[in-house]
Chains A and B, each alone.
Chain A
Amino acid sequence: MTYPDPAAEPVPPARPGVRPFLQSGPKHATGGYTPTGEQPPVEQGQSNTLRPFVITAGRTDGGDPDIGMETQVSVVPGAPPSRFSPETRAIVALLEEHPISVAEISARLRLHLGVCQILVGDLRAAGQVDIQGLENDTPDPDTIMRVIRGLRSIS
């Protein structure tokens, strides 16, 4: 027989279709193969797949879910000064004139949208800015009517 002895055959490494949840537990499966690579068992840490953002101290998600790209950000008048990174201070400086959206902050400062969302979340948590997001997840007929009237009035 030229076939190798099936008992001697090592556990096939990439066979994730077969009950993969058994392999990802704290006790790693047979054969010493770790199917998830160096991914930590805790689900939150996906840092190995994404490049860490230096500006956000390595955070790539976990930002405020209320903060979308269209969310309006305005400074809280009279908020006490606090120590922030230059990027975060630049955001506050941008808002001096009038409230703008997260997307505009991102474009003006040439910062990644995701980074801006996290930094704005920090500012909000620190009481430096207020945010105004969408009214509802499903648009309201009255609001749509206002947009229609507004659009009709332009030429």
Chain B
Amino acid sequence: MDFDPSANRVVATARIPGGAAPKKAPVPVKIIVAGGFGVGKTTTVGAISEISPLTTEAEMTSESVGIDNPGQATMKTTTTIAMDFGVLTIDQTLKLYIFGTPGQTRFAFMWDDLVKGALGALVVVDTNRIDDCYPAVDYFERAGLPFVVGVNTFNGQMGYSLDEVRWALAVRDDVPVISYDARFRASVRDALLVVLDQALDKAIKMKS
């Protein structure tokens, strides 16, 4: 067999300058979009993302009620959840990830992974099923993650006023309750800007 090393080398050298691989990877940041099933999380992610939303499957471990009793053989259940996410390139060195996560489940260990280092969260609410978002609100409050309640006005109308939603959720006064339309990019952008505003407030407070 004839083996021609020179031909090989040409291929090799041609590839390295061609690929952008040696470039430094951008720094990622993330925002969480949480809420119950079918409230428009994926629509929200898809509206702002520059790629069509991707789905990743993650194993989630949740523990049942015996959680406060460490000695007890706690019932650990493992479920696979699907998580949608999108990407938005801010600039060459910064990339925003928007993760849409199912929020019905309590004690979801994966959430800890998810919120670690997150800028903030948008809790999507459907006024027909407000209680679906309780676990998410609860979790973010405990985790100390800045969040905003976003009422998705699917059909351009809401069943309840924002004040009523705020009352139902009993969130702190400094948590914004806004309405937005998950189908429109500008509307989702504005909702995320409110989240970032909260994040900035917290970050500045933490720094000083």
Interface residues of A (CB under 8 A from B): 14, 16-17, 19-21, 35-37, 49-51, 60, 68-75, 77-78, 95-99, 101, 103-104, 106-108, 112-114, 130-141, 143-148, 150-152, 154-155
> Chain A residues near B80 (CB, 8 Å)?
112
Q: Is the CB of B196 within 8 A of A147?
A: yes
> Chain B residues near A37 (CB, 8 Å)?
73
> Chain B residues near A106 (CB, 8 Å)?
56-58
Known: A107-B54, A112-B57. 12 other contacts (CB 8 A): A16-B71, A19-B71, A69-B99, A72-B27, A75-B21, A77-B21, A103-B99, A114-B58, A114-B59, A139-B199, A140-B203, A144-B200
Instruction: Tell me which of B110-118, B156-164, B165-173 binds A.
Output: B110-118
Closest residue of chain A to B198 (Cβ to Cβ) is A144
Known contacts A16-B72, A35-B73, A106-B56; is-contact A97 B21 (Cβ 8 Å):
yes
Interface residues of B (CB under 8 A from A): 16, 19-30, 54-59, 69, 71-73, 76, 78, 80, 83, 85, 87-88, 90-91, 94-97, 99, 113-114, 116-119, 185-186, 189, 192-193, 196-197, 199-200, 203-204, 206-207
